[in-house]
Amino acid sequence: MSPAIELHRVSKRYWKLEERAMLLRSVLPFARPRRSAIYAVRDLDLTLGQGQTVGIIGRNGAGKTTLLRLMAGVTQPTEGVVRIAGRVAPLISVGVGFHQEMSGRENVYVNGMLLGLSAKEVRRRFDEIVAFAELEDFIDTPVKFYSSGMFMRLGFSVAVHADPSVLLVDEVLAVGDMSFQAKCLERMRTLQSEGTSIVLVSHIMSAIRLICPRVCVLQDGKLLFDGDPEAAIGEYYKVLSAPDETGLPGAPITVMARTLLGVEGDRYYVEPDGEVEIVTRVRFEQPVEDPHVKFQILTEGGLLVSTTQSVLRRPWRRFEPGDEVDVRVRFRARFAGGSYRLVTIVTGANVDDHLVRDEGPVLYVEPRVGTWGIVDPVATIEVDGEDRTWNESLMLQGRDATDSPG
Amino acid sequence: MQSLWDHRAVLWILARKDFQVRYKRASLGVLWAVAVPLLQAAVLAVVFSRIVRVPTRVPYGPFVFAGTVAWSYFAGVAGTSVSAIVDGASLTDKVWFPRAILAIVPCIANLVGFGISVVALLVIAPLLGSAVTPWLLVLLPASALLFVFTVALALVLSALDVYFRDVKYLTGAALLVWMYATPVVYPQSALRGLGRWLDLNPVTGIADLFHLAVLGPFEAWHRAVLVTVVTTVALLVAGIEAHRRLDRLFVDLL
């Protein structure tokens, strides 16, 4: 069987204009606007067999969306060959191609037909599509009044009901609420078992691990890693944690080294509620009187989870240029599954005077089934005396149910 | 071309939506599609026959009306389809279909208003003093030529607009001037010697055919029609070729 998607030595070059193109200037050869080349995807080989699923992860700007666009056929590679078998692959992402003035109902028809269904097929699946998107009450409202979540739900629903042979999913999970996210994942698993190939781009590692038996890491348009999801996620965190260009010349404090203890290997995994220790070695380049330390935890989306401030008691002591000390922070990872960025800040005597801000490593907390969000309070659910907490064994039963077709 | 045909269902539904959306929020709905060209024709007829007093050998009412019907369709489509690909960007960067469809959608959607206008023309022109003759059948090839010419121009302009956003405004400005360079409100004969130059304008041939249908043949109309046909073929080839080559590169510029 031929592969569902085949990319052979594919590059995509964009011209970044230094100036705005204007009709007159482009026609006059001597006045052509200056431009410089940017490779969004470079010399990339990727083959996806039919019915297989691959996850794509990477930093922002690594070329993930360009890759999906190439697969969807909406853009052409500058070099190389892209081959796609089967029905047009719809690219699902935030703000699917909807017509603002038209109602949800009309958009379902237009979108369904764009995805290759006939009007009759759309009609037959219409109720199912609307029910899945949970938009029964709003289906005759013009979509310009929809929230971004409603938009995404409808777009996703149409796409998964269009029987694509390849489903390209770009970051949609970031928009919907948690329950819809779970529903999307469930639906993707059903499609997988029915033989649909899926390419999933996401920053949500729990989703990647749940759906993808194979994961590619993109970095600067190149394929950094292709294979086992655990190893791939590890690679991804290494990329994310690569020491930034800290220690600008003239900075009062420089970060010399950073170690993370209590985590699994160099992938920065930690069990829920596991104890973590982060040691940042800093060197004072200027004399600093009574420094303070702030330790922050942020979600991947940049949401501040917590700030911990060292004691505000002065006078304390003075550090001289050349002094090297360890800043040691210990905490427990009482987070829901996901990744968290650890930031260590050293301030002067005034706590708003940041002398160094170390965008430290990204910590990956193992997801616990049935719990999501930011904090994990280790909640249990009991109904009429019976324990109804979702745990691993129940999850496996659910998996069996979706995997056996019919 | 093949993929255009494969996506005809998409073209059809988009055109229908385009039409519906346009008049959806207006209580008079589709009536506006007819009312506007009618009103325009009436205003022009009054201004140019009573106030400016253009010398014509033919009944002026049917003349203006016939010209305006053709011109309204052409100008209406050209004005919207020029930016169709740019405006439709959100539709095309998710799933591929030929972008040319976006440019053709207004050509189809406006046919409804055009069709009703032609019917109105058939009813009103005799009331204003034109004779009902077999020449009226010329309206069919005339409409076909108008449609193909408009599609061809829409393909070329929409592709250009992706690269140079000035084209949209340039088209708007050009249409203003263009109307007066076309025998819509006055016959070519009114310009005496200069009138011949209007034959180089491809829309002249179309307007001539509409006039001919309503008022019967007049001298030297073939020349302008020939120019129109040649221009149409040239534009069509250029438009199809441009879309064939650039279609999948458009998205990078949107």
Judged by a CB distance cut-off of 8 A, whether residue B23 touches chain A is no
pLDDT at position A401:
39
- Taking all residues of chain A, what is their mean pLDDT, rounded to a whole number? 79
Query: Each residue of A143-191: pLDDT tens digit?
Result: 888 887 788 888 888 888 888 788 888 876 666 667 777 888 888 888 8
Buried b (16+ CB within 10 A) or exposed e, A334-360: bbbbbbbbbbbbbbbeeeeeebbbbbb
Query: Each residue of A251-300: pLDDT tens digit?
Result: 788 888 888 887 765 567 788 888 888 888 888 988 888 899 999 998 87
Residues of B in contact with A119 (CB under 8 A): 9, 13
Sheet holding A91-92: strands in order across? A91-92, A166-170, A197-201, A53-58, A215-219, A222-227
Q: Does the structure show a pLDDT above 80 at A90?
A: no
Residues of A in contact with B252 (CB under 8 A): 14, 75
pLDDT at position A242:
58
Q: Using CA coordinates, name the residue in chain A closest to B246.
A: A76
pLDDT at position B151:
93
Judged by a CB distance cut-off of 8 A, whether residue B90 touches chain A is yes
pLDDT at position B147:
93
Residue A405's pLDDT band, with cuts at 50, 70 and 90, is very low
pLDDT at position A35:
67
Judged by a CB distance cut-off of 8 A, whether residue A33 touches chain B is no
**Average pLDDT of the residues in A315-344:** 89
Q: How far is B245 from chain A (nearest CA, A)?
A: 11
pLDDT at position A406:
33
Q: Does the structure show a pLDDT above 70 at A362?
A: yes
Domain count, chain B: 1
* Least confident stretch, A84-98, A170-184, A312-326: A84-98
Q: Do B95 and A72 touch (CB under 8 A)?
A: yes
**Average pLDDT of the residues in A26-53:** 76
Residue B158: give the domain boundaries. 2-253
Q: Do A97 and B164 touch (CB under 8 A)?
A: no
Report the alpha-carbon distance of residue A62 to residue B56 in Å, rounded.
Answer: 69
Q: Which residue has the higher pLDDT, B196 or A187?
A: A187
Q: Which residue has the higher pLDDT, B44 or A87?
A: B44
pLDDT at position B27:
64
pLDDT at position A42:
87
pLDDT at position A397:
42
Residues of A in contact with B9 (CB under 8 A): 113, 118-119
**Average pLDDT of the residues in A66-70:** 86
- Report which residue type is found at B215: L
Alpha-carbon distance values, B100 to B10, B153, B241 (Å): 12, 12, 11
Q: Domain A5-239, what architecture?
A: 3-Layer(aba) Sandwich (3.40)
Q: Do A91 and B93 touch (CB under 8 A)?
A: yes
**Which of 179-238 (B) contact A at CB < 8 A?**
none
pLDDT at position A87:
63
Q: Do A102 and B9 touch (CB under 8 A)?
A: no
Residue with tokens 């003239």: A250
Contact A192, A160 (CB under 8 A): no
Q: Write the class of the CATH domain A246-365.
A: mainly beta
- For chain A, the domains span 5-239, 246-365
Q: How far is A36 from chain B (nearest CA, A)?
A: 15
